[in-house]
Amino acid sequence: MKAKLFVTDMDGTLLNSEHKISRGNKHAIKRAVEAGVVFTIATGRMYASTLPYAQELELDVPIITYNGALIKTASGKELYASYLEEDLVKDLLDFAREQELYIHLYSEDKLYFKENDEHAQYYQKMCGVPGNAVGEDIYKYTYHVPKMLIMGSTPEEADAAVELVRRKFGGRIDAMKSSPTYVELIKPGVNKATAIAKLAEILEIPSEQVLAIGDSSNDVSMLTSVAISVAMGNANDEARAAARYMVTDNEHDGVAEALERFCM
């Protein structure tokens, strides 16, 4: 059976190393949408960072952001939102300070960090959204926080941060890597899989016609939950193990290959 709902991760999947959508992927997406496929995005990025890509593709469908904590249409209609408790946000800020880790948060779809250091500068350049350096006033922005992000200087530092968070907070927070140095902090039970299930229900698309494609650890939940799961050629070991199928990497139009194989 061909996929009717095609859900793609962004970084390392839909986007190449220059954080752009290739001409080949754009062409395949346009053909698929014209053929009736519902094409959308599920990403760890904030909504403000994802929206320009949805607009570039001329999509007006619900997009999944913050690793599943927010589902919102490209035209701005919010369909679902889940936020961290304010006390937990403060505890995570304290933890990062104690461990001397870079951390930032998102409140009301705005980016906040203590200092505009090299981590903050890199992230702003990557996501295309300017952030706010607020020092200790970051504790004033603990409301409507869908997720937080720790950035390590090395993959090993990020791995260690995941283990530290899991030991310290247990079931209060889920910690997972979305890139070699990014550690996503999100509410337990909120992930791309649950968001895709909600979206498929909203769109009235049978579960057997849902496809997800990704490359990283924060994609594992959706890859293990959908009928058609695809890993990119550049995927890490966790994503590869979770997926049923494999396509080429994000430098060679893996998304276009998946559209051709499973939708067209």
Radius of gyration of the chain (CA): 18
Tell me: do 93 and 130 sit in the same domain. yes
Number of domains in the chain: 2
Tell me: do 49 and 134 sit in the same domain. no
CATH number, domain at 125? 3.30.1240.10
Cα(22)–Cα(250) distance, integer angstroms: 9
Cα(47)–Cα(104) distance, integer angstroms: 16
Q: What is the pLDDT of residue 60?
A: 86
Q: What is the pLDDT of residue 1?
A: 79
- Spans of the chain, pLDDT less than 70: none
Tell me: do 178 and 218 sit in the same domain. no
Tell me: do 148 and 234 sit in the same domain. no
Q: What number of other Cβ atoms are within 10 A of residue 11's Cβ?
A: 21
Q: What is the pLDDT of residue 234?
A: 97
User: In terms of residue numbers, what domain contains 247?
Assistant: 5-81+190-262
Tell me: do 54 and 180 sit in the same domain. no
Q: What is the pLDDT of residue 178?
A: 86
Tell me: do 94 and 124 sit in the same domain. yes
Tell me: do 77 and 194 sit in the same domain. yes
Position 110, amino acid? K
Backbone angles phi, psi at 262, to 5 degrees: -115, -5
Tell me: do 53 and 69 sit in the same domain. yes
CATH number, domain at 212? 3.40.50.1000
Contact 175, 184 (CB under 8 A): yes
Query: Given 168, 186, 204, which residue is the final one in a domain?
Result: 186
Q: What is the pLDDT of residue 179?
A: 87
Contact 68, 192 (CB under 8 A): yes
